[in-house]
Amino acid sequence: MAVVAQTPDIAGERQSGQDVRTQNVVACQAVANIVKSSLGPVGLDKMLVDDIGDVTITNDGATILKMLEVEHPAAKVLVELAELQDREVGDGTTSVVIVAAELLKRANDLVRNKIHPTSIISGYRLAMREACKYVEEKLAVKVEKLGKDSLINCAKTSMSSKLIAGDSDFFAVLVVDAVQAVKMTNARGEVKYPIKGINILKAHGKSARDSFLMNGYALNTGRAAQGMPLRVAPARIACLDFNLQKTKMQLGVQVLVTDPRELEKIRQREADMTKERIEKLLKAGANVILTTKGIDDMALKYFVEAGAIAVRRVRKEDMRHVAKATGATLVSTFADMEGEETFEPSFLGYADEVVEERISDDAVVMIKGTKTTSAVTLILRGANDHMLDEMDRALHDALSIVKRTLESNTVVAGGGAVEAALSVYLEYLATTLGSREQLAIAEFAESLLIIPKVLSVNAAKDATELVAKLRAYHHSAQTKADKKHLSSMGLDLSQGKIRNNLEAGVIEPAMSKVKIIQFATEAAITILRIDDMIKLVKDESQNED
């Protein structure tokens, strides 16, 4: 029974009990249904048009959910869930939302059958722990056994549902090369792959297959003036975060001038201040000057005379990466402790060379041979903006996946293999428990099958038959000692058959699957715990005052 109580002094409504749960589940189902059809190698894309008419065509779960303006508080949890998965793993955003919504739906059915939410939650938690353990112990395969091909296959699996699936052979190699190029060892001796050091530049024209990898960090702007040299080597780079323009008096400063000749002196002094600043920069040895703000013509003159390259209006983000890669310090003011203006040579970053190159019709400044971490740039070519944006998103996912594979070193078979194996395993586990959690674990096992089901539905195949076959394989893999190798059987969606996906090269990092299970369970539990919703109505009378 739902109680809608209204207290006289607080205008608002309170809903509690089953109604709230049902509402939350319906909202989450609605969100999941939006992204459902975009899962898998034959998933369809979504076209999103925002309030000012910008069009985004995408297949990436996180992007779709970010663009939707979700009002419902429970559904917002799912949107945040997709963003979390995107930050942590980079791929699997669609799967995580679908699994979470399915877990919720089944939990709601259990609550209707008079099982207390607490029992369900502890059952789900137990199932989650067991599932993650099982993936790590039984299903995960070390990458060393598979070599570089496995990285390429991981990248291909990640791209299979995206726009560039047709050219995934070509792009997978690009992605793997790019990630391996930024390899570095940190102070603790761990090998890290900072994929932020891979800059992705989009250039119109040519076809997607004309994309290529360049060594060096590219800035999407040209030199500030034509008279500057096209190439500087070795480069000493100053990264600035202020204007190099004629210094103006501060606002609100009044200068009373009685003698008109004094006015000219003030003007001259203003011009000289900028000149002094630039001289300080050049004296410190800088021959490449990057600034996030503007440089005016008067200041450019000095750089051209000194034979230095100056670049203005560099994006803050690019600036941070350049500073990190070259060992430069981002300087936001020349003032030192004493109030004098100085520029230390230690602020400069080093690179082998800085050159301006032309890509399609745009000039880009390339910073090559950086000092601390290596940086590479992926130049994407494509017919139009939508295509380039979608390629960028697809490559971000693939880069993240390759990074995770390299850092965690374990992979699992894709195509619903893991979910089917876990489902069979957890169902067996549920029958061995005599506690109340049994039902919750059995439902958890059922929920995981949503992934192979959705995959086959999207591929226009018979889901019931395929999933049943898949489970049969996994059942014999877990019960018969001589059938262990069947544990990596997954769906082949183009043929509508079951095959060994490890051999077929459909693989994903084990970490991605573990995180999907953990995050989806946590989100489902968070929403399941809610049994009361109090919504305050905006008080109109206060606004009128």
CA 93, chain centre distance (Å): 10
| Active-site annotation holds for 397 | yes
Specify which residues 368 forms β-bridges with.
353
Q: What's the pLDDT score for residue 543?
A: 58
Q: What's the pLDDT score for residue 104?
A: 92
Residues 456-484: tens digit of each pLDDT = 888 888 889 989 988 898 888 888 878 77
Q: In sequence order, what DSSP letters do the residues of 270-281 get, joined into one string?
A: HHHHHHHHHHHH
Q: What's the pLDDT score for residue 100?
A: 92
Whether pTM > 0.85 for this model: the answer is no
Residues 135-175: tens digit of each pLDDT = 888 888 887 765 678 888 888 888 888 888 788 888 888 88
| Active-site annotation holds for 259 | no
69 CB-contact burial (10 Å; exposed 0-12 / middle 13-18 / buried 19+):
exposed
Contact 444, 127 (CB under 8 A): yes
Q: Which of 90, 92, 64 is nearest to 520 (CA)?
A: 92
Contact 472, 497 (CB under 8 A): no
Domain 221-373 coded CATH 3.20.20.450 = no
What is the mean predicted confidence (pLDDT) over 272-292?
Answer: 81
In the three-class reduction of DSSP (H, G, I as helix; E, B as strand; rest coil), residue 346 is classed as: helix
Amino acid, single-letter form, for residue 53: G
Contact 353, 309 (CB under 8 A): no
Instruction: Check 45, 56, 60, 91 and give the catalytic one.
Output: 60
Q: What's the pLDDT score for residue 519?
A: 92
What is the mean predicted confidence (pLDDT) over 189-214?
Answer: 81
Calculate the average pLDDT of the chain: 83
Residues 376-428: tens digit of each pLDDT = 888 888 888 888 888 888 888 888 888 888 888 888 888 888 889 999 999 98
Answer whether residue 521 shows pLDDT above 90.
Answer: yes
Answer whether residue 18 shows pLDDT above 70.
Answer: yes
Rounded to a whole number, what is the distance in angstroms from the first to the last CA of the chain? 39
Instruction: Check 58, 63, 94, 377 and give the catalytic one.
Output: 94
Answer whether residue 250 shows pLDDT above 80.
Answer: no
Break the chain into its structural domains and give their ranges. 221-373
Contact 302, 251 (CB under 8 A): no
Instruction: Check 397, 410, 492, 521 and give the catalytic one.
Output: 397
Q: What's the pLDDT score for residue 2?
A: 58
Tokens 């059987």 sit on residue: 489
- Does residue 344 or residue 147 have the better pLDDT? 344
Q: What's the pLDDT score for residue 536?
A: 84
* C-alpha–C-alpha distance, residues 32 and 231, integer Å: 52
| Active-site annotation holds for 372 | no
* C-alpha–C-alpha distance, residues 29 and 488, integer Å: 30
Q: What's the pLDDT score for residue 542?
A: 61
Answer whether residue 8 shows pLDDT above 80.
Answer: no
Please calculate the CA angle 189-195-200 and round it to the nearest 5 degrees.
155
Residues 50-90: tens digit of each pLDDT = 888 888 888 888 888 888 888 888 888 888 888 888 888 88
pLDDT-based confidence at residue 128 (cuts at 50, 70, 90): very high
DSSP 8-state code for residue 143: G
- What Å distances lie between residue 303 and 199, 261, 298, 306, 310, CA to CA? 27, 30, 10, 5, 7
Instruction: Check 58, 93, 157, 326 and give the catalytic one.
Output: 93
What is the mean predicted confidence (pLDDT) over 248-273?
Answer: 77
Q: Which of 339, 543, 422, 448 is nearest to 106 (CA)?
A: 448
Percent of the chain scoring above 70 in pLDDT = 94
| Active-site annotation holds for 210 | no
- What Å distances lie between residue 140 and 99, 125, 293, 413, CA to CA? 20, 21, 50, 8
Q: What's the pLDDT score for residue 106?
A: 92
